[in-house]
Structure 1
């Protein structure tokens, strides 16, 4: 391949688990049939990105050396054969790689399956859009695809101020549900600002908040975005017969008796399957297109961590996520234009 500048790009390459990212000049990908070449302006950082980097995500392996970063926002640079609905210059966002051997978004360009993309919301900056794909898809697959959430239902979101949680709260409200969300005492004001009723998970037993908010009957839908003992608590919090427990982190070993004694349902949400298997990718693009409509109506907004990061400070961006101190989604500005709308 030619060394002409247009044939290469900058990428942050991970060579081994827990290694430092290496700023590298690599070949710019060429879109194949069904793919779009995206000029990446912003790359979202999820907790899963940091686990993949640490080699602790068996369910999301990414061969090394490789480029991490699952979420992106940017502009279409070129389209491959058999691509419909996108043209050069279009602003897009999506969960497009960074696992399963697909190049991630910590790079200036990526050739991605066009089915995974949607039009970027016009009222969001690139960095705001890059904060959303994985968490929106995770929230949507649980609340809409599995629980079929509708108006008037009572929903409990565990971890309502977290990445998946704060999006789940907003989607549930947009669907007409009455929403309650667990969090710390310090997160109560933010949860309330979204329109949900906060529940202090540290001081309020399940039986108490069931009595207070559901007359002891339980919630119609409970979404566990935390995992571990929170999923066990979810089995106790769901309504009899018609209740539905969802979890995007239900990977442990759990006693099903509390759920069975309620005659309730459980669904696991595993949003990586379309990336890993190639099956069902178009639905991810469809979810994001519907999310764009909600965002442009003012019904869904990402909570952004105030700190800014670039490709030169990717290490600090990952550290911000692993520290647990981020006050919203962490995004890497791949371009200086990432923050403009």
Structure 2
């Protein structure tokens, strides 16, 4: 099969299009003919940082975590899937799991689900990693109907999904963005947009919560921005963050009695534990999408398999609106 491989870690030019052996089916797994894969920030981090990250695969490697495609064969012990089924998942591209920048993947059946009938292969490929992250974060933070929810970075990959899911769960949703395009997308998806460049935390807390703060904050920006989340949170508020690799003063979180939930959705893939949870979440995301309450935004630029490096560059440029998708 054709695959984009890397022989070394580095910039986006390290990708090479090669012929490699088609992966062999094994028990508990499904052979999928891949139609599309999407690029996540963690993919670009692995490619550029390599062994500095404990999740990096051994070289040579096939990167790419997300996929959508069609089942070609099922392994021993697999139930619920048949040849010809259209599926999606996040199942490779790190540690010892070969990735999705290839014509085929052998994926653990617990890391995939049937894709939504009303989503294209490109849209479905854009959803798994960000969808699981957003869903897990909101549920771990105990989202409830009528809560005031703030999403930091609501036009980004994870953020625009968290925004839609929070709305689906009945919350009153607000979201920060940094420009006209970003804010327009946030409003289009049903949230109240907040320009963090022109409105201070104090200003929008006063404006939208009568100074009391938000019940739940999904912080897809993280790092130093978590201090803004602490400031924007209500007393005993809940904060879910996807970027916690930082050092912060937790004093304000202490005095406000905040709960902090760190979301690292790769744990089931890395440790082969709780993988059934990813199957469950993907099934829920399919149901929500088919109900018309969730649609991933795909960037206007498209890329072929041989253009994987350009797709990585597109994501890194910050110019993409929505998820960058590679057609296989």
Correspondence for 1:14: 6
TM-score, normalised by the number of residues in structure 1: 0.93
Shift of 1:185: 2.9
Task: Name the CA distance, whole Å, in 1 between partners of 2:212 and 2:57.
Answer: 44
Which residue of the partner structure matches residue 175 of structure 2? 181
Of the structure 1 ranges 14-23 and 285-294, higher mean CA displacement relative to structure 2 is found in 14-23
How far does the alpha carbon of each residue in 1:272-303 deviate from its partner, in whole angstroms, 9 at most, with x for none? 10000000111111101000011111100011
Kept in 2, the 8 Å contact 1:61–1:100? The answer is yes
Deviation at 1:329, TM superposition (A): 0.6
* 1:315 aligned onto 2:309: yes
| 1:216-231 → structure 2 map (5 Å cutoff) | 216-231=211-226
Of residues 130-139 and 310-319 in structure 1, the stretch that sits farther from structure 2 once superposed is: 310-319
Structure 1 unaligned segments of length 5 or more: list them.
1-8, 335-341
Deviation at 1:60, TM superposition (A): 2.6
**C-alpha contact 2:156 2:321 (8 A) present in aligned 1:** no
Supply the distance in 1 between the matched residues of 2:110 and 2:97 (Cα, whole angstroms).
14
Number of residue equivalences? 324
Q: Is the 8 A contact 1:133 1:288 kept in 2?
A: yes
Distance, in Å, in 2 between the alignment partners of 1:188 and 1:110 is 37
Correspondence 1:79-90 to 2 at 5 A: 79-90=74-85
Partner of 1:170: 164
**What is aligned with 2:280?**
286
Matching residue of 2:196: 201
CA distance in 2: counterparts of 1:236 and 1:258, whole angstroms: 7
Cα deviations by residue, 1:215-270 (Å, 9 ceiling, x for unpaired): 111110011101222111101111102x1011000110011101011011111001
The aligned counterpart of 1:5 is none
> TM-score with structure 2 length normalisation?
0.97
Note the residue ranges of structure 2 that are not aligned, 5 or more in a row: none
Residue 135 of structure 1 pairs with residue 127 of structure 2: no
Partner of 1:339: none
For 1:208-247, what aligned pairs fall within 5 Å after superposition? 208-241=203-236, 243-247=237-241
What per-residue deviation string (whole Å, max 9, x for no partner) do you get for residues 51-73 of structure 1? Answer: 11002661532211100000000
Deviation beyond 3 Å, 4+ runs, structure 1: none
Cα contact 1:66–1:101 (8 A) shared by 2: no
- Measure, in 2, the Cα distance between the counterparts of 1:317 and 1:305: 10
Q: 2:44 aligns with which of 50, 54, 74?
A: 50
8 Å contact kept, 1:68–1:99: yes
Contact 1:60–1:272 under 8 Å retained in 2: no
Secondary structure of residue in 2 paired with 1:54: helix
